[in-house]
Amino acid sequence: LITDARRHLPPGPWPLPIIGNILNMNKLPHRALAGLADRHGALMTVRLGTSLFVVASSPAAAREILQTHNASLSGRSPADAWSGGGHSANSVFVLQPGRKRRVLRRLGTAHMFSRSRLQETLALRRDAVAGLLRDVSVAASSGSGGTPVTVSVRRVVFTAMVRLLWRAMFSDDELSEAASRGLYDGVREAVALVMTPNVSDLFPAVAAADIQGVRRRFAAQIARAYKMMDGQIDRRTRARHQSGGGDASRNDLLDAMLDMSEQGDHGGVTINRDVIRAFCTDLFTAALDTTSNTMEWALAELLQNPQTRRKLQEELGTVLGSKSQVEDSDIDKLPYLRAVIKETLRLHSVVPLVSYRAEATVQVQGYTIPEGSNVLVNVWAIHHNANVWTEPHKFLPERFLEKEVEFYGRNFDFIPFGSGRHICLGLPLANRMLHLMLGSLLHQFEWNLPEHESGSAVDMTEKFGLVLSMATPFQVIVKNKQ
């Protein structure tokens, strides 16, 4: 089991508190680690410098980590950058297990992602998709004299998701184009900084000096996002004071958090301005790149698999008829769309690696994982395991028609949203939005590859980051359907 992998990865010492930093050296670490697992086993230890790094690459090993021993294996080891601007003290991504994390997750579920809340926000999703279709239609009509128009699906989906979350959290319809772009740039830059190789992570003894200034730059980006959240907090607080509470109530996430902040201590947890703005910022960070890149991968596959695309468009035509967009209630009637989304999440798992810290020493598959180890689950390796999936590197949505495979964290063959205590908080919303957006875009428009791409294969090279994206910017020709 114990494998010293120093010879396979760049020379150390790498204390490895944050996988991302190493991973940058090794351009596609999920693939490199999957290759190592093929040789050394589905549970292996990589010792890098002074740190132990346990990597699980099979459904059985993932089950032990994410289910059987999850209580002991759900700590986090955040990058030093993450503490810029004090963000890590309140960030749901990196808070250690405990009451504060639980309170935040419960708040998110109750006021954003529960079944009843999603029912109440149905119109917001419908509007978000209508806005997306409008943006694409305007772009499609902008070509003069029949010149083909290209769009970046990643970009338009990102914008649609920003607007949706903004309205759902703050009940505010007036997010300006400039503010939305600011959030886009801020989130991108902050995420890039978290992934930057940083001396502070390699040598914690000198971290306080922030030699490369990564923490300082992260703090500047976080401050931009916090300023936007502060604008909403101030506005709502003023309105609540003026109306004495009642009239200003929007019954949204912001109201729920402000109510809690007025109630004081919640069993040792205080919800204050720092907590509110960190949580709201985290929801944007988690939602935007994941959904927009998944949509981009989906379209890239569909444009290279014309039969699959035609089959999907036929299904959409039959179910939707003259309706312009997919609605929540249509999803159950669109099995092929569901299969296409699942196959995209499998083949292009945008979160290919999930990482934790062992809070106690535990036995996994008969081996000891010492307290303090970094534990990694290679989601990408599981989704490309030939013992589980036939022809794992091919885009074959039909596989999901043949057998029912769900992604709610109980089936360890398929965990694109993770599992256990850190399972994706936004899963119910992400699930709905992926179907609504992909189905509507396919139903409403004609999509084609640019001339230079159609002759050769699309460049599907991956770029590793917090989210796995297409390395080459992907522009697609779009036309309004006749």
Instruction: Provide the minimum distance between the beta carbon of 10 and ligand HEM in the complex, in angstroms, as a whole number.
Output: 25
In this structure, what DSSP letter does residue 75 have? Answer: B
Closer CB to ligand HEM, residue 229 or residue 429? 429
Closer CB to ligand HEM, residue 165 or residue 442? 165
Instruction: Provide the minimum distance between the beta carbon of 25 and ligand HEM in the complex, in angstroms, as a whole number.
Output: 22
Helix (H, G, I), strand (E, B), or coil: what is residue 403? coil
Instruction: Provide the minimum distance between the beta carbon of 242 and ligand HEM in the complex, in angstroms, as a whole number.
Output: 30
- Residues at the interface with ligand HEM (CB under 6 A): 92-93, 105, 282-283, 286-287, 290-291, 294, 350-351, 354, 416-418, 422-426, 429-430
Q: Which residues are within 8 A (CB) of 437 and not within 5 positions of it... i.e. 6 or more apart?
A: 129, 132, 157, 160, 291, 295
Best CA proximity match to 64, nearest among 375, 392, 351, 350: 375
Please name every residue paired with 470 in a beta bridge, in sequence order, or none if there are none. 462
Cis peptide before 78 (omega within 30 of 0): no
Cα 313 from Cα 316, distance rounded (Å): 5
Closer CB to ligand HEM, residue 75 or residue 449? 75
Closer CB to ligand HEM, residue 418 or residue 439? 418
Cα 182 from Cα 76, distance rounded (Å): 29
H or E stretch covering 462? strand 462-463
In this structure, what DSSP letter does residue 345 have? Answer: H
Instruction: Provide the minimum distance between the beta carbon of 351 and ligand HEM in the complex, in angstroms, as a whole number.
Output: 4
Cα 283 from Cα 288, distance rounded (Å): 9
Closer CB to ligand HEM, residue 93 or residue 158? 93
Instruction: Provide the minimum distance between the beta carbon of 403 and ligand HEM in the complex, in angstroms, as a whole number.
Output: 21
Q: Tell me which residue has its CB nearest to ligand HEM.
A: 426
Annotated binding site: 424
Instruction: Provide the minimum distance between the beta carbon of 426 and ligand HEM in the complex, in angstroms, as a whole number.
Output: 2
Q: Which residues are within 8 A (CB) of 259 and not within 5 positions of it... i.e. 6 or more apart?
A: none
Closer CB to ligand HEM, residue 282 or residue 453? 282
Query: What dihedral angle (degrees, nearest 10) is formed by the CA atoms of 54, 56, 60, 63?
Result: 80
Instruction: Provide the minimum distance between the beta carbon of 382 and ligand HEM in the complex, in angstroms, as a whole number.
Output: 12
Closer CB to ligand HEM, residue 91 or residue 325? 91
Contact 474, 447 (CB under 8 A): no
Residue position matching structure tokens 């607080």: 237
182 alpha carbon, distance to own chain's centre? 19
